[in-house]
Amino acid sequence: MALLHKDKIAIARSDAGERLDRVLAARTAHSRSRLKALILDGKVAIGPRTIRDPSYRVNAGDMISLTVPPPEPAEPAGEHIPLDVVFEDDEIIVIEKPSGLVVHPAVGHGSGTLVNALIAHCGDSLSGIGGVKRPGIVHRLDKDTTGVMVVAKTDRAHHALAAQFADHGRTGPLKRGYLALVWGAPERAKGTIDAPIARHSQNRQKMAVRSGGRTAITHWQVLERYQGPDGKPAASLLSCRLETGRTHQIRVHLAHAGHPLLGDAVYGRGFKTKESRLSPSARAALAALGRQALHAYLLVIEHPATHETLTFRSELPSDFARLRRALAGSRLGLSDG
């Protein structure tokens, strides 16, 4: 049976006058939001008095008692789904997400998700995110997007990683790199798409570039260009780096730029007829792929506990690599720039 965890924290003179939740966040491994919930739930006392105000100003010499209940059982239930684990310690787990795996339970996907798999895989090593034994999802990949992902196992890691992803690498080492096979060939060798993204006005399942949407910035660079049997540019391989993290951002931005992802049935539907411009081997490889050609190949993070910079690279999955090889049989040179 799990036991209550109790901490005794003495307030130093330098902490005098600070908010209770801020002092506890600086002196414990819990996030400020988790501590606020514990304070409101009556789990924090100073001397004999229970303090239920997160903004309470502490005094030098105060002795704070913090009682943390054991994490509640995970919801949803764990499922034994095979995982390709790249790295794991007490704080985080990094996995290679395959195509077809939904990250988080939602309507229509109540089971069989990455979260279900992680709950079973990590077991008691999940110390509780927000008081529940569950993995902390700080970024997501679409169901059919492959590549490297990091997930938090502790409240401290969840809080630290969430801050890194919110910062988008502006002040820290965070980097997210993607490889994308797109229709056509951009005239320039590299560029930036700065266009706001919001829900589509008619189809709530889709995103779109819309005035008044949330800021979205994608940096791209052409790595390879491929010609069709007619000698004209048919497709390209791009590397993409996110400066923001909006839903379907790369897919929406590249479609908006006139170069949707190969195999994207949602945002590249109008380019279906362009398959006739591919070689027979490339058409067969695209049919076998059966999804958008997008792969998260690079992830750089700061470890939430050791503060070490960790770099993870992911090789192309076999179906993506096969399509690239088929297209590369007719590669065009890159322009300077």
Residues involved in catalysis: 142
**Please, is 90 exposed, middle or buried when counting C-beta atoms within 10 Å of its C-beta (0-12, 13-18, 19+)?**
exposed
CA distance 251 to 244: 13
User: How many alpha carbons fall within 13 Å on the CB side of residue 199?
Assistant: 5
Report which DSSP code applies to 277: G
- Count CB atoms within 10 A of the CB of residue 92: 24
Q: Using alpha carbons, select from 161, 176, 141 the residue that is nearest to residue 298.
A: 176
- Cross-strand bridge partners of residue 296: 147, 178
Q: How far lies 68's CA from each of 6, 62, 248, 274, 324, in Å?
A: 6, 19, 38, 59, 52
Please give the structure tokens belonging to residue 158: 């969840």
